[in-house]
């Protein structure tokens, strides 16, 4: 683990949000530096912010890049010598995070820095999750189609009415996140689908905020590499069936999906 350092960080201001930006990374050495630096440049003056990067057994220059970044920004790296997968990495990060709020960001620079700034400065409620809604996804058609199919299945099976379940740009209060993540067990590759179903079942609220989605800079999605897409589809479908069998959630249950005390947020 690379310890956090904070050279030149602004002193904490009373009343600011205590936030960890959580970034899962696997072989993202070419992009993660820009993601961290852009987010650090957008930090609000009245916020206490740091980074937690989950290096899931990377074999490229990710580790060396992170070691250099740790000299510039408050950064902690949790290194997995053996891959835990997307969901396993996020679970580890959530359980080890030590701040009141968690902001999840992808390591491949697919979000606008200005959207990160909006998430860092928006009103917060300790029982409400804020999720980015990619209004125009910059993904291949096949991936978008599969996402729509599984979102529809989640709506029918669990009554989870979200426009973009799997968006990784999410602002979550840490305490309920730790409660929920201990129950996630079926959908490693589609972690956010199961997490959101369990979040809703526990009675917590969420709001969705429109964000801009950018294409990967190298145009290669890891989901499509080495036949992983087919395995992910099967795993996600089986996981959904197991989750359906376990839970008693139906679309007719009157679970609140938004908190009326949280102001409506738009672009």
261 located within any domain: no
What is the H or E stretch that residue 13 is in?
Answer: none
Give how many domains the chain has, as a whole number: 1
Q: In this prediction, what percent of the chain has a pLDDT beyond 70?
A: 81
Sheet with 18-25: list strands edge to edge: 75-80, 48-56, 18-25, 101-104, 170-173, 128-134, 205-211
252 located within any domain: no
16 class by beta-carbon count within 10 Å (0-12 exposed, 13-18 middle, 19+ buried): middle
Provide the domain limits for residue 59: 18-246
Quick check: is 173 in a domain? Answer: yes
- 85 vs 101: CA distance, rounded Å: 23
pLDDT tens-digit map of 103-139: 999 998 888 889 998 999 899 999 999 999 999 887 7
265 within domain boundaries = no
170-202 tens-digit pLDDT = 999 999 999 999 999 998 888 999 999 999 999
Tokens 């949000």 belong to which residue? Answer: 17
Place of tokens 């074999």: 59
Q: Across all residues in the chain, what is the average pLDDT? A: 82
How high is the pLDDT of residue 218? 62
| CATH number reported for the structural domain that contains residue 171 in this entry | 3.90.550.10
Convert the pLDDT of each residue in 16-29 to its tens digit.
569 999 999 999 99
Cα 53 from Cα 90, distance rounded (Å): 10
Look up tokens 């989750």; give the residue: 243
C-alpha 116: how far from chain center: 12
Domain-located, residue 13: no
Per residue in 227-263, pLDDT (tens digit) is 566 777 787 788 888 898 898 644 444 343 333 334 3
**Based on the number of CB atoms within 10 Å of its own CB, is 20 exposed (0-12), middle (13-18) or buried (19 or more)?**
buried
pLDDT per residue as tens digits for the range 67-102: 999 999 999 999 999 999 999 999 999 999 999 999
**Per the domain annotation, does 234 fall within a domain?**
yes
The span from the CA of 81 to the CA of 70, in Å, is 19
Does residue 253 belong to any structural domain of this protein? no
Write the CA distances from 22 to 39, 101, 124, integer angstroms: 11, 10, 18
E strand spans, 118-223:
128-134, 170-173, 205-211
| Residue 147 within any structural domain of the chain | yes
Strands (E), 26-100: 48-56, 75-80
């Amino acid at each position: 683990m690379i310890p956090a350092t904070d050279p030149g960080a602004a002193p904490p201001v009373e009343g600011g949000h205590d936030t960890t930006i959580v970034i899962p990374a696997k072989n993202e050495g070419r992009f993660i530096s820009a993601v961290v630096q852009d987010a650090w440049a957008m930090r609000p003056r009245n916020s206490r912010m740091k980074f937690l990067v989950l290096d899931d057994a990377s074999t490229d220059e990710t580790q060396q890049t992170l070691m250099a970044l740790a000299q510039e920004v408050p950064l902690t790296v949790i290194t997995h010598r053996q891959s835990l997968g997307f969901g396993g990495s996020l679970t580890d990060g959530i359980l080890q995070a030590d701040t009141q709020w968690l902001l999840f960001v992808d390591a491949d620079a697919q979000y606008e820095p200005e959207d990160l700034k909006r998430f860092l400065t928006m009103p917060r409620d300790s029982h409400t999750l804020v999720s980015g809604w990619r209004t125009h996804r910059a993904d291949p058609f096949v991936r978008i189609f599969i996402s729509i199919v599984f979102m529809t299945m989640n709506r029918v099976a669990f009554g989870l009415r979200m426009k973009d379940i799997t968006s990784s740009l999410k602002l979550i209060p840490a305490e309920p996140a730790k409660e929920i993540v201990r129950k996630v067990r079926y959908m490693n590759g589609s972690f956010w689908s199961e997490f959101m179903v369990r979040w809703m079942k526990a009675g917590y609220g969420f709001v969705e905020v429109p964000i801009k989605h950018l294409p990967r800079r190298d145009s290669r999605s890891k989901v499509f590499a080495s036949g992983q897409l087919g395995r992910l589809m099967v795993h996600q479908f089986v996981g959904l069936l197991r989750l359906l069998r376990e839970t008693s959630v139906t679309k007719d249950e009157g679970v609140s999906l938004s908190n009326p005390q949280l102001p409506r947020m738009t672009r």
